[in-house]
Amino acid sequence: MAMKKIILGFTLALTLGSQVFAQNVIIPAPPELAASAYILMDADSGEILVAKNEHEPLPPASLVKLMTSFVAEQELQAGRIHWDETTRVSVRAWRTGGSRMFIQESTNVSIGDLLKGIIIVSGNDASVAMAEHIAGTEEAFAGMMNQVADSIGMRNTNFTNSTGLPDDNLFSTAYDMAILSQAIIQQSPEYYPIYAEQSFTYNDITQNNRNLLLRRNPDVDGLKTGHTSAAGYCLAASALTDGMRLIAVVMGSASDESRTQEVQTLLSYGFRYFKTHQLYEADQSLDDFTVWGGDQGAVTLGIEDKLFVTIPRGSENHLQAVVNVPPVLRAPIAEGEEVGQLVVMNGDEVIAERPVIAMTEVTEAGFFGRLWDSVRLFFWKMFN
């Protein structure tokens, strides 16, 4: 069936500011890094700006703890655990090697302190204690981690522990870690500020956050480092500048300093050459469209979720949105029913597509109303 187009044309000179930009924009080639895999993602639009080997499964080291903390944050938000409740430290948690929060066997520690110990100082002991408190065993907790990973679209990840300590069956990708970082930022706003804290003191021991960018770049406010001999040096970081948030993930870098510089290079490139724009709010109405045979003559069309686009700076002056809907809409139409497609274009390039839904319900008219509309529709088709 042919589709009718409703053109919602606009230029950013009218809708997003008064500056008019040139159409022809030159963007330099993205930076090439020495890391095994890396990605730069816009946190709001999900647009991938730079990527290399982003879907290659690699050992993620302590980036695994991003999922450990995310599961804990989801449990906190659901009310199944509480910030001030305590758990008793097991021998297994206490004996876990590698980076530590320095919790002691058979002592009680709060969930809040454990979460900080996981996020800020990358405590393996804290990760195991949290896993055991939530799921009973670390193995059962790993199963929860994989379920959550699947639910947010991490398709090339398998968790076997809560720490990131080496395991042949433990792997993830730069893309999946960017997706996880995005989920933490968007779904755990209450707890996300913890990822920016530069140090944590527990049991009279103060340790610094290993993310050097927190001290070097004031725009960086998270997320997590990782390192093992098999994984190399890894870093997932996010920064917010002038309302634009980017996520950069580097895996398999050569040193602490190199992963820091490589992530900074990605962030600098993204902020310098790209811009994010919010075009529509969630549940925003787009237009009214004629409905035949209904108890009302029109239905309001809209989109369900916020719509962000990321485009090269300077290419903003000819964004156009087009709503494609069937030429004839007939009642009944349920509220929330998909009736068309919103297509956003920058010049000739399609940069975003979203389902168009009915914002209100339209029920069938009575017999005489439907009869009258069928006559009107007959003549409307003749002339349209």
Q: Which residues are catalytic?
A: 62, 65, 122
For residues 102 and 269, what is the distance between their CA atoms, to the nearest angstrom? 39
- Please name the amino acid found at residue 118: I
State residue 5 phi and psi, 5-degree precision.
Answer: -105, 130
Closest by Cα among 95, 90, 94, 176 to 137: 90
Contacts of 335 (CB under 8 A, 6+ apart): 358, 359, 360, 361
Q: What are the structure tokens assigned to 126, written together?
A: 């804290």
Asked if residue 322 lies in contact with residue 270, where contact means CB atoms within 8 angstroms, the answer is no
Measured over the CA atoms of residue 308, residue 311, residue 315 and residue 320, the dihedral's sign is: negative
Q: What are the structure tokens assigned to 52, written together?
A: 């290399």
Contacts of 338 (CB under 8 A, 6+ apart): 355, 356, 357
For residues 47 and 179, what is the distance between their CA atoms, to the nearest angstrom? 11
Burial (CB < 10 A; 0-12, 13-18, 19+), residue 323, is: buried
Measured over the CA atoms of residue 137, residue 141, residue 142 and residue 147, the dihedral's sign is: positive
